[in-house]
Chains A and B, each alone.
Chain A
Amino acid sequence: MKVELKNIHFSYGPVKALSGISLVLNEGATGLLGPNGAGKSTLLKIMLGFLTPDEGDGQVLGYDLRREQKFIRQRVGYMPEDDCYIPGMDGVSFTAYLGELSGMPRQEAMKRAHEVLFYVGLGESRYRLVETYSSGMRQRLKLAQALVHDPKLLFLDEPTANLDPAGRQDILELIGEIASSKDISVLLCSHLLDDIESICTDMVIINKGQIAASGRIEDLKMINYRLYELKIKGELPAFRLELEAAGCRLEETEDRLIKIYTPPDFDQMEIFRAAARNGVQIRQFARSQSRLEDLFARVVGVD
């Protein structure tokens, strides 16, 4: 078990940011999702040991959240979302410097910096000043500095931001490999649901300071909803009202495709019965492949 949080509460003055967050993160890659203001950042701050929770307790890599924050940061790697660097340093000095700040002996930090820069694909550019790097190279550099001290847990905040499709694919492959075969757990915070779906096996969705859903992505898709896609002839409003009263959620796309999210135990025949009662003709009906976007929309309650 890499992270275990129990009933975490945190407020910024009168504003409640987290209310009773309890979660367990295991080996592998976990995606952290949530709309803006949901509490993701606060949760990451608490897990990195920057904020002390008002209530609740927990452990990261076996270290206490309240008392052993220094040890947590020594053993956790963090790749920030921002484009951040120290001007005037070359790639290898920069990476070694941050390794040394993590507590590595100077010479070992330098040796290790060379290794991780080769690993992330910056081997040839490691003696160039970091301010001359392209945004894709800086993204790799941030990954290198997060890996230099060989963390057991990696927090990645929007790791594919500012990358072209090829660069994004490379970074995702690399993160996937780290998470699957390098004995490093990854917590991936991203707005790109495709990134999370392609790397993570588990997922945590936060909404309004609470856990809205957590678990294996495949299981969550199955448990939380079923998705049907319909094309109809007739008046939608009454049909929509009846289905929504039965606990479903309807969306209409631009090409007049109706998406119906139903509770998992909902009988699909009810859709046909509702259509018949409201004089709606169903011209196309298919159970759709559920996607992470749909799960997110369903759980968080946004389109």
Chain B
Amino acid sequence: MSSIREKGYHHWDGQFLDRPRAFWPITRTGIKLAFGRKHFKLGYTFSFLPAMIYAAIIYISERLEDFKFIAQGGDKLLQVNPNFFKSYLTLDLLYFAILILMSMGGAGLLADDFRHKAVQLYFARPLTKADYLLGKAGVVIFFVGTLTLVPAVLLYILKLLFAGSFAFFLEYPWLILSILAFSLFMILFFTAFILLASSLSNNRNYVISIIFGFYFFSEILRGIFSVIFRSPFSALFSMAANLKQVAAGFFLVKPPYDYPWYLSFLLISVFCFLSYLVVKHKVRGVEVIK
């Protein structure tokens, strides 16, 4: 370690910015730190695989004559309609990829700050609790958004480009709004879920267990209740099933479970609200000095 005062202290003569988006440095740093984690870049790249497959399907569906040799009898599978976009946004593989990525880059968002007592460093700055939470949420929003909203919109644009006409747009004029609305709903859910999990422990490994435990346990619970009660309402216990049910409502297609989709919508909305309350309670600015 070098000796102290290698260089003198100079006053800074600059001006503080009156920053309206104080959360942005927190989001930017969170994204940068996530990319710095081992294997994250690889995992992130692979998460785009479903989107690339769907893009290929759009291309093939528009060139069915050229691909007859591989698409025999697959016309139904290659239909690009609202269900196609719904199926992309409700892919189990996509959910799993999001959870893997968030366990690497999102689990420590709050947990690491709690563990290393960094919260006090943030709140000793001119930041509000909303700035801090928005900054952390921004990291999840970025990753979930780039895996859901961005590819879904790009797939939609790709469909229009390959079709070479606005027939698809005219057939489903509301579809782009459905894509936007459901993607945003998913982003909101995953943001609330990841931040809630991250706030429940100081140890990122426990947070990862909570994330996957919740995902798998909710599925197991759905299976058990489904066998015992043979009721479609068993799907209300499952995270993935609820998202699929809501997606059906947003995309105006038949719900996979026989109960109104808005029940799942309500359940997830309440979950997000409660998560917000818990996270807000866990992050306390006044605990700066013990």
Identify the A interface with B (CB < 8 A).
41, 44-45, 48, 50-51, 70-71, 73-74, 76, 78, 80-89, 93, 97-98, 100-106, 108, 112, 115-116, 118-125, 134, 136-137, 140, 145, 147, 149-150, 157, 170-171, 173-174, 177-178, 182-183
Contact = CB atoms under 8 A, between A and B. Distances in A.
Interface in B253-290: 285-286, 288-290
Interface stretch (B2-10, B86-94, B172-180, B208-216): B2-10
Contacts of B17: 103-105
B7 A115 contact: yes
A122 B11 contact: no
Nearest to A112: B12
B3 A121 contact: yes
A121 B6 contact: yes
B134 to A, nearest CB: 13
A80 B117 contact: yes
A83 B115 CA distance: 10
B123 interface: yes
A73 B241 CA distance: 46
Contacts of A106: 25
Interface stretch (B43-51, B124-132, B185-193): B124-132
A122 B127 CA distance: 27
A137 B117 CA distance: 17
B154 interface: no
Nearest to B15: A105
Given A73-B124, A84-B117, A88-B36, A124 B289 contact: no
A121 to B, nearest CB: 4
The size bracket of the interface on B is: 35 or more
Interface in B1-47: 1-12, 14, 16-19, 22, 25-26, 29, 33, 36-37
Contacts of B33: 86, 88-89
A137 B124 CA distance: 21
Given A86-B112, A88-B33, A103-B16, A71 B121 contact: no
A295 B289 CA distance: 26
B126 A173 contact: no
A48 B124 contact: yes
A101 B126 CA distance: 7
Given A87-B112, A174-B4, A80 B286 contact: no
Contact of A80 (B11, B19, B124): B124
Nearest to B135: A101
10 closest Cβ pairs, A-B complex: A103-B16, A121-B4, A150-B12, A84-B117, A78-B124, A118-B7, A101-B125, A70-B126, A82-B117, A74-B126
Given A50-B285, A78-B288, 8 more contacts: A45-B288, A70-B126, A74-B16, A86-B113, A88-B36, A101-B122, A108-B12, A120-B4
B116 interface: yes
B205 interface: no
Contacts of A173: 4
B107 to A, nearest CB: 12
Nearest to A74: B126
Contacts of A44: 289
A147 B4 CA distance: 15
B120 interface: yes
Contacts of A177: 5, 9
Greatest chain B CB density within 10 A among A82, A101, A145 is at A101
B288 A118 contact: no
A74 B289 CA distance: 17
A82 B11 CA distance: 27
A101 B22 contact: yes
A140 to B, nearest CB: 8
A119 B1 contact: no
B104 to A, nearest CB: 12
A153 B1 CA distance: 27
B7 A85 contact: no
14 contacts: A45-B288, A48-B288, A76-B124, A80-B124, A98-B125, A101-B25, A102-B126, A106-B25, A116-B9, A121-B1, A121-B5, A123-B2, A140-B4, A170-B4
B118 interface: yes
Nearest to A70: B126
A174 to B, nearest CB: 6
Contacts of B37: 88
A242 to B, nearest CB: 44
Contacts of A112: 12
Contacts of B11: 150, 182-183
B286 A50 contact: yes
Given A98-B121, A101-B127, A103-B126, A41 B4 contact: no
Given A87-B112, A137-B1, A118 B6 contact: yes
Contact of B120 (A82, A97, A116, A171): A82
A115 B126 contact: no
B102 to A, nearest CB: 16
A45 B123 CA distance: 11
Contacts of B112: 86-88
Contact of B8 (A51, A73, A119): A119
B2 A121 contact: yes
Nearest to B34: A88
B286 to A, nearest CB: 5
Contacts of A100: 25
Contacts of A125: 1-2
